[in-house]
Structure 1
Amino acid sequence: MTDTTDDAAAPGDEAREALAAELSGLLGDALVESHIEAGENLWLRVEVEHWQAVMAALRDAGFAYFGFLSAIDWTDAPEGRYEDTEFDAAGVGTDDDESASATAAETVRRGGGETRFQLLAQLHSPARHAAVLIKADLSDVDGVPASVPSIIDIFAGADWHEREAHEMFGIVFDGHPNLEHIYLPTEFEGHPLRKDFPLLARSVKPWPGVVDIEEIPPELEAQLEAEVMAEFEASGAGA
């Protein structure tokens, strides 16, 4: 197990350091590495084949409140940013923009490896007033992520979360009895949260919320300013 805790961030978060050491002993070889974000989070990266066993061990250790389960697809969308327009293109591709994106990606990847897909979940311990974020790297074959054992027998609240991850990313949760769609029609093909899913509607019309901005003619602008000033003076506010 590798401890990726940033030494510069460690002071002031002795509680998470102690918890990381305790859970490292509990999980043993199932734990790949941990990371402490001081004052914020404790990340645990585990072997995906131990996903179910890790969840059971953490529940028995007091992390009995299930927060959420989801997944990440780290690949870049082949078409790039759909929402680029004449209004925001100036800020795209600059050194500052690329640096900010790299920093954001590094921050989010904490506690994770280099695979395209990652599974993640959050568990809470009400008694400890603490939470842990658990990640597992998912291998994929031709863009299809590997299957994972279901944890609904451990946390019943994971039911809909696993269904959503299956619907949106195509992850199969072995042992789940009802991996049916929640949001999409039953006959819908594809998984919309995979980065290579073609969102054709974005290619044929502007991104929702992007509108044409027309300049106000100078004569109309002067008229509006005069009317506003007249109302302001008539109200006595300018006295």
Structure 2
Amino acid sequence: MSEETIEEIAPVPADHDQLIAEFSRALGDDLLSIQSNQGDVVARVRPEAWVKAAQVARDELDLEYLSFISVVDWMPAPIPPGTSDSDTSTPTQPSEMTYGVGGGETRFQIFASLQTTMPGRPSSLIVKADLDSEHPLIATWSALYPGADWHEREAMDMYGVTFADHPNPRKIYLPAEFEGHPLRKDFPLLAREVKPWPGLVDVEPMPGAGADD
């Protein structure tokens, strides 16, 4: 399918042009990339401008609703033990980090989805930023979007991201003694001892189901 055909089927919405222009003007050199993609505007900003991006989105673009905050680990998934590159039963993995819309430079990226409930305003923006590959750290959005609190705590649990100045940086899903971050690509799922489920009980057969009934 040609690019001309794609543009005829899915033209860039007018509100995307408006959002791109306003966000670009407000962020200036702190904006690394911005484009319309699949119904959203996707913007990648410098990590140090993460809070600035949220403030612009909320106060100048009326994007007052935070849908979610999450993290992507772009590291290629390790080859499972006992398999080889020629094992066709294992899906082929890229050998290098392959980034999504807007590009990237590090292993981890944080991204947030923002919307507005006000008619006549640009309606949807995804903001993303690169995080340090060894010690992912970013400022909290919780002062601007109170709903960011739990989303950020989930990212702490699952990816090991530290949110500077977060008001309540406690685990939200995992036990306090749990070690590691389960959604990282290098988390050793098979390295833990398999234990019986504590709720497992013997179940008696239904009448007529046993051999002696």
TM bracket, shorter-chain basis: 0.7 to 0.9
Q: Secondary structure at the match of 2:177?
A: coil
Check conservation: 2:75, 2:185, Cα contact below 8 A. yes
Structure 1 gaps of 5+ residues are 1-5, 205-239
Check conservation: 1:44, 1:134, Cα contact below 8 A. yes
Aligned pairs for 1:136-151 within 5 A:
136-141=129-134, 144-145=135-136, 147-151=137-141
Question: In structure 2, what is the equivalent of residue 58 of structure 1?
Answer: 57
TM-superposed CA distance for 1:92, in Å, is 4.7
Structure 2 gaps of 5+ residues are 195-213
- Is 2:128 the counterpart of 1:135? yes
Question: In structure 2, what is the equivalent of residue 111 of structure 1?
Answer: 102
Larger CA Rg, structure 1 vs 2 = 1
Query: As a proportion of its length, which structure holds more helix?
Result: 1
Check conservation: 1:112, 1:135, Cα contact below 8 A. no
What fraction of aligned residue pairs are identical, expressed as a percent? 41
TM-superposed CA distance for 1:22, in Å, is 2.0
Letter of the structure 2 residue corresponding to residue 70 of structure 1: S
Computed over aligned residues only, the root mean square deviation of the Cα atoms, in angstroms, reads: 3.0
Q: Distance in 1 between matches of 2:165 and 2:173?
A: 21
Which string of whole-angstrom CA distances, capped at 9 and with x for unpartnered residues, describes residues 61-89 of structure 1?
A: 2011111001011112323499x9xxxx7
Question: In structure 2, what is the equivalent of residue 199 of structure 1?
Answer: 189
Q: Secondary structure at the match of 1:166?
A: helix
Query: Aligned pair in 2 of structure 1 residues 81, 33: CA closer, same or farther (>3 Å)?
Result: farther
Query: Aligned pair in 2 of structure 1 residues 7, 113: CA closer, same or farther (>3 Å)?
Result: farther
Question: In structure 2, what is the equivalent of residue 179 of structure 1?
Answer: 169
Which string of whole-angstrom CA distances, capped at 9 and with x for unpartnered residues, describes residues 134-161 of structure 1?
A: 11011223xx32x111110000000000
TM-score if structure 1 supplies the norm length? 0.67
Check conservation: 2:66, 2:113, Cα contact below 8 A. yes
Q: Secondary structure at the match of 1:122?
A: strand
Query: Aligned pair in 2 of structure 1 residues 180, 8: CA closer, same or farther (>3 Å)?
Result: farther
Aligned pairs for 1:10-25 within 5 A:
12-15=11-14, 16-25=16-25
TM-score if structure 2 supplies the norm length? 0.74
Question: In structure 2, what is the equivalent of residue 27 of structure 1?
Answer: 27
Check conservation: 2:23, 2:56, Cα contact below 8 A. no
Residue-pair matches, total: 182
Check conservation: 1:112, 1:136, Cα contact below 8 A. no
Letter of the structure 2 residue corresponding to residue 46 of structure 1: V
Q: Distance in 1 between matches of 2:69 and 2:6?
A: 27
